[in-house]
Chain A
Amino acid sequence: MDSLSSPASRFRTLSGIPVDAVYGDGPAPGEFPYTRGVHAEMYRTRPWTMRMFAGFGTATDTNARFGELLAAGGTGLSTAFDMPTLMGRDSDHDWALGEVGRAGVAVDTVEDMADLFAGIDLGAVSTSMTINGPAPILLAMYVVVAEEGGVDRERLAGTLQNDILKEYQAQKEYLFPPRPSVRLVTDVIGFTTAEMPRWNPVSISGYHIREAGSTAVQELAFTLANGFAYVEAAVAAGLHVDDFAPRLSFFFNSHSDLFEEVGKFRAARRIWARWMRDRYGATDERSLKLRFHTQTAGVSLTAQQPEVNIARVALQALAGVLGGTQSLHTDSFDEALALPSEDAARIALRTQQVIAHETGVTNVVDPLGGSAYVEWMTDEMERQATEVFDHLEQLGDGSLLEGVYAGIDDGWFVGEIADASYRHEREVNAGERIVVGVNEFTEGDDPSARRLLRIGQETEELQRKRLATVRQGRDAAAVASTLARVAVDAAESTTNLMPALLEAVRARATVGEVVDALEGVFGTYVERAVV
């Protein structure tokens, strides 16, 4: 009975059996190469951040959803922007018709950003912003909103996705050609390294690669290759690897094959640690530790019998936790049909809470470590990913950055992903893979029971009015001169663009105006259409 009163007894099974932090031999969690986790105690000392992605309608609409999520026990914020914002277009642009506020929140100016975070202490929460092409502009807006509200930039904690390479490979939300776009990424890295020590300047994302149809190996390999490419780009821009690498973070998908996913997460940590130490010469332990956010696989959600998605999400979330994620978003069961309704978003958050507080999986670090299958899968993931790195290195004459550029330019990434996607589709179509409710067990679907979130057309009109008001109320000459400076600084490849961007958004320049100024220098990117 002694163990029940010792500190270790805090961690007991449901039946009262005391359990240790870790079982098995070999390098422990928190030790190089971190296969078993980046911290020795993992969730015993710090649970993952339950970071729910939200955004729809106007900034005021999304601000209310943020409030609900924080009140329901969410511990971080994550912002989804609408398609015009993601593509650097204002809500009154022709291209924006029908898309304003539909798949995320509309942000045109710093005033929208202020409304988005109204009533939230930016010095106290951590915020993730899922944006890539115009990422430096949105970061500048966030900094200006914080500073106008009395919070210094060095206190701001959060993550900017800012991962442009995967846009050319998978998500397709690019604005400019790859090389000037990577310069924008390194400008952000340089800026936050110097001035925002609590900020993660890039979230190197496999999520979208997987959603576009890749395999787990492709997700792992392409994502880490992109990570290495950013390291090479930042070093080439004059930064020291240990000054910025500790703040690089990752974002992975958690799909339905549980052990494959766990192997993927474990292999990711091991590969990153080895490459950062051995190839890029990092010596700060924090540079070697791959920290990541996980989101369950939106693409696995079915429109048929959508309630079944709750089970899929729970199992995928469990894989992320067993894989040692630092933060987690669980998808809402209705997402194959519409943006998440409030009820569905709450169930998704509650799913994480069940895993964290009821299942006991948090009591032991890397509980699957030592399983012959999981260890083999981890090795196999690493082996197959290494084949991809070898290919890219060859394409780039020894440089991963150049190899990734080459793979984008010649359509290699999109071709690989499209092949994998079609292979999967054919297997489902042929009944070789069962998708419950879609090609098997199909009875019991009741479309009439669905209560979906609808975004009305009035959002678009409202947002355009808000934008018009900001345009009328600002100093037009100041806007013009700050935009001119953006163009001048953009043309000078060794100048960090962030100061010019901060000045422009502070003067109430719109996202679209800043993008236009940059586009004038950088040009646009049109992909070769590959089926």
Chain B
Amino acid sequence: MSGSTDRPPVRVVLAKLGLDGHDRGLKVVARMLRDGGMEVVYLGLRQTTDTIIDAVEQEDADVVGISMLNAGHLTLGPRMVEALADAGLDVPVVIGGIVPDEDLPAMANAGVAGVLGPGATAEEVVACVRAAADARG
């Protein structure tokens, strides 16, 4: 049913959480999602869980995508999931960046809905975000 016209487009908030300034990947993902028919709210660099939650509420977002290069996924990923839950928001989190395979179970246990690594194609990126949005029900 992807791309069907009877549903509004998926709205995704994209942000870099924390200090890391490597935004090449996030920008590419933003354009991939746009080209895939989604609405992207691009917050950019140095966001906090609070600024992301504000954006999710204001924009009525379906998915949060955060990107990190610095092995911050083990701390920042779960923190984002918890912060959304604490705010009473049922919005899945997708992480992009360098996440070693051995960390994938920990990410899933923490409630991270999807992980996109280096080399992910546009189709994979769009499918991952759509699956996260659909799983939300």
Contact = CB atoms under 8 A, between A and B. Distances in A.
Interface of A: 83-84, 86-87, 89, 95-99, 102-103, 167, 171-173, 211-213, 299, 302-304, 336-338, 418, 421-422, 425-426, 429, 435, 438, 447, 450, 452, 455, 457, 526-527, 529, 531
Nearest to B32: A425
Contacts of B117: 303
A102 B19 contact: no
B95 interface: no
Given A172-B45, A418-B27, 15 more contacts: A83-B70, A87-B19, A102-B70, A172-B21, A172-B23, A211-B24, A303-B117, A336-B98, A337-B98, A338-B98, A422-B28, A426-B122, A429-B121, A529-B44, A531-B30
A423 to B, nearest CB: 10
B97 to A, nearest CB: 11
A303 B72 contact: no
Contact of A529 (B43, B72, B75): B43
Contacts of A450: 100
A455 to B, nearest CB: 7
B86 interface: no
Nearest to A425: B28
B21 A173 contact: yes
Contact of B71 (A211, A304, A455): A455
B100 A89 contact: no
Secondary structure call for the A interface: loop
A89 B18 CA distance: 12
Contact of A452 (B19, B69, B100, B121): B100
A425 B122 CA distance: 9
B136 interface: no
B31 A531 contact: yes
Contact of A83 (B20, B121, B122): B20
B48 to A, nearest CB: 9
A84 B18 CA distance: 10
Interface in B12-37: 18-24, 27-28, 30-32, 34
B6 interface: no
B70 A438 contact: no
Contacts of A526: 46
B121 A531 contact: no
Given A338-B100, A455-B71, A303 B21 contact: no
B119 interface: yes
Given A336-B98, A455-B71, A422 B19 contact: no
Nearest to A418: B27
A531 B18 contact: no
B110 to A, nearest CB: 13
Given A527-B45, A529-B44, A171 B21 contact: yes
* Residue from the set A84, A299, A531 with the largest chain B CB neighbour count within 10 Å: A531
Contacts of B30: 531
Q: Which 10 residue pairs are nearest across A and B when measured between Cβ atoms?
A: A172-B21, A529-B44, A98-B75, A103-B70, A303-B118, A83-B19, A531-B30, A98-B72, A87-B19, A531-B42
B19 A303 contact: no
